[in-house]
């Protein structure tokens, strides 16, 4: 394990795009492709993340081959970079961006389980919400969480998202159908909650 930790340690220069306290949000970098591949395939990490298909290193690397067009891109992802430990620990961002209705889905994955349960996603998601509403001018951010992912349900609640609906038996994971809890927050609601921002 120490060897693995050593390998995942940051060796490249990091340019934060959004600065936080515990983590910075940094542009995804092809030099982290192996690490991202490890996170996507890790059974413990991918369990509730809709990752039912194995992801090869080539698949991950393909993402870095084309630069997304700024007018048509439908997702934006960041690496969560742990400032004190100087290492990338997961990724977070917005996908399924709809530029007409101006909404998007927020996703998050801490790929290094030793960093779970430390409130890190709370900080990272707040930064992404601020980015979504004050830089991308989105109208609404959504999230979908499966019933057994109690950690994620709690994180959505702590973040101040509103629970809007539950779709029954909507996802098949580990041999069972599970409900999907749909959460949402409009820019107006976010501004109300963050009057000092
Ligand atoms: C789900 C995930 C994003 C949450 O991020 P996190 O930084 O670990 O979240 P937090 O530290 O804020 O913990 C969330 C809450 O879950 C609670 N929790 C921790 N372990 C738990 C468990 N086994 N069961 C229930 N709740 C648990 C924590 O106590 C905390 O609540 P509290 O602050 O009221 O005590 C992160 O664990 C992760 O990336 N998991 C793997 C990938 C994944 O599932 N992504 C989400 C897909 S929707």
119 in contact with ligand 1, CB cutoff 6 A: yes
Give the CATH number of domain 2-193; options: 3.30.390.30, 3.90.1660.10, 3.55.40.20, 3.40.630.30.
3.40.630.30
Environment class of residue 153 by beta-carbon count within 10 Å: exposed (0-12), middle (13-18) or buried (19+)?
middle
Q: Select from 193, 167, 192 the least CA-distant residue to 181.
A: 167
| Residue 97: CB atoms within 10 Å | 19
Pocket test for ligand 1, best of 105, 107, 154, 157 (most atoms within 8 A of CB): 154
Domain ranges for the chain: 2-193
Gap between the Cα atoms of 43 and 59, Å rounded: 18
Query: Could you tell me the pTM of the whole model?
Result: 0.92
Residues 6+ apart with CB under 8 A from 125: 92, 106, 108, 155, 159
Residues 6+ apart with CB under 8 A from 107: 49, 92, 93, 94, 95, 143
Digit-by-digit pLDDT tens for the chain (197 residues) are 444 544 455 567 899 999 999 999 999 989 999 999 999 999 999 988 888 899 999 999 998 998 888 888 999 999 999 999 999 999 999 999 999 999 999 999 999 999 999 999 999 999 999 999 999 999 999 999 999 899 999 999 999 999 999 999 999 988 999 999 999 999 999 999 998 65
């Amino acid at each position: 394990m120490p060897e693995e930790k050593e390998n995942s340690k940051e060796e490249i220069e990091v340019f934060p795009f959004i600065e936080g306290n515990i983590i910075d949000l940094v542009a995804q970098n092809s030099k982290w492709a192996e690490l991202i591949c490890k996170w996507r395939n890790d059974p413990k990490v991918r369990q509730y993340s809709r990752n039912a298909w194995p992801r090869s290193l080539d698949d991950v690397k393909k993402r870095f081959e084309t630069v997304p067009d700024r007018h048509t891109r439908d997702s934006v992802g960041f690496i969560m970079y742990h400032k004190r430990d100087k290492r990338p620990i997961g990724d977070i961002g917005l996908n399924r961006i709809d530029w007409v209705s101006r909404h998007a889905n927020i996703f998050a994955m801490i790929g290094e389980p030793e960093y779970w349960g430390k409130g890190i996603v709370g900080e990272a998601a707040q930064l992404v919400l601020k980015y979504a509403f004050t830089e991308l001018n989105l109208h609404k951010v959504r999230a979908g969480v499966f019933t057994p992912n109690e950690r994620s349900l709690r994180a959505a609640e702590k973040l101040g998202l509103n629970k809007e609906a539950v779709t029954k038996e909507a996802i098949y994971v580990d041999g069972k159908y599970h409900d999907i809890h749909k959460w949402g927050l409009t820019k107006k609601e976010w501004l109300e909650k963050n009057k000092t921002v």
